[in-house]
Amino acid sequence: MANQKTIAVVGATGAQGGGLVRAILNDPQGGFAVRAITRDVNSDKAKKLAQLGAEVVAANVDDVASLEKAFREAHGVFCVTFFWEHFSPEKELAEATNMAQAAKRAGNQHVIWSTLEDTRKWVPLSDERMPTLKGKYKVPHFDAKGEADKVFTGLGLPVTLLLTSFYWDNFIYFGMGPKKGPDGKLALTLPLDDKKLPGIAAEDIGRCAYGIFKRGHELIGKTVGIAGEHLTGAQMAAALSKALGKEVVYNAVPHAVYRGFGFPGADDLGNMFQFKCDFNEYFCGARNPETARALNPSLESFEDWLAQNKSRIPLGE
Ligand SMILES: NC(=O)c1ccc[n+]([C@@H]2O[C@H](COP(=O)([O-])OP(=O)(O)OC[C@H]3O[C@@H](n4cnc5c(N)ncnc54)[C@H](OP(=O)(O)O)[C@@H]3O)[C@@H](O)[C@H]2O)c1
């Protein structure tokens, strides 16, 4: 409809952007239309979004001209980067800069930047509690996102900084789910001590982003932190046990041990969990489930998420 506001969504075939695309399409009376951005308009995922009613266009976050074209005449844009595709914070910062510049040139009226903290504000490189990684980062996949905040604000964009949380979907896709130990018991191995981890259903990030766009000007210039729930490792293991009908124990490991696990990014994630533990009060305080629920009344708890997804968690049995 002519008076609908279009939201251009980067990462539309992925977790965060996909949640936003579906949130907009599921609310046909909401006054918004969606433009899904993908590198390949002919992929199965892109075609599925088109079938659901999205306008699907091609752009690449490495190509500012393609982004500008995709952002043109959209009311709002949702910007996200893909650290785990390349493991390069420098590339992530360059891609965020491309999106910010494209939004500036396209003149979009509301930008959401999906961000995380630059942990070096809390743990300077000289702080030896955790190793410095890739030469100048403490948590590479956080730090460049946080550094990019000032690229968006520095260009004077009408931006909302969206602080996201650990996806519970990592238990399905990221190899973080319970695994059988030598004693035959399923163990949830995380370097979380007895601290709480703000977590969220990945789909809810997009639903919250939709809630931010629906608020109009209210959240422009603000940082909004979201989570579904804050849970300890023991609480997540108990919920997993209940949902799976099998005992899952929480196996707390030291951060240094986790850093040494050897899988790609283990050092980055070990530092990330240490940051979340050492600054737990700040980290949880910055991600309020009530804020998320106000933006997205269907916000899922971990138990809700497990009810939908428990059969998809690989248990390595
Ligand atoms: N896992 C967590 O717990 C967590 C928590 C908070 C934040 N994050 C952050 O979330 C970010 C990833 O978001 P996500 O999980 O929504 O991603 P995702 O599900 O992996 O989706 C990525 C999508 O982005 C598109 N894409 C990849 N490279 C692109 C490029 N060069 N240009 C344009 N599009 C590109 C791909 O679409 P096409 O193939 O269709 O182009 C892909 O479907 C990461 O930076 C990560 O650090 C993760």
pLDDT of residue 16: 98
Average pLDDT over residues 166-195: 95
What amino acid is encoded at 62 in this protein?
D
**d(CA 183, ligand 1 centre) in Å:** 36
Concatenating the DSSP letter of every residue in 80-147 gives: ---HHHH--HHHHHHHHHHHHHHHHHHT-SEEEEEE---GGGTS-TT-TTS--BTTTBSSHHHHHHHH
* Biggest CA pair distance of the chain: 63
- Ligand 1 atom closest to residue 45's alpha carbon, by position in its atom list: 40
Give the confidence band of 182 by pLDDT, cuts at 50, 70, 90. confident
Asked if the model's pLDDT at residue 4 lies above 70, the reply is yes
Residue 317 above 80 pLDDT?
Answer: no
Tell me the sheet residues that pair with 196.
Answer: 232
pLDDT for position 31:
98
Ligand 1, CB within 6 Å, residue ranges: 11, 13-17, 38-40, 43, 45-46, 60-62, 80-85, 141, 164, 166-167, 170, 174
CA–CA separation, 75 vs 57, rounded Å? 16
Q: Report the pLDDT value the prediction gives residue 2, as an integer from 0 to 100.
A: 62
User: For ligand 1, what atom is nearest to the CA of residue 167?
Assistant: 3
pTM of the predicted protein model: 0.98
Give the containing element (helix H, strand E) for 75: none
C-alpha span between 37 and 9 (Å, rounded)? 6
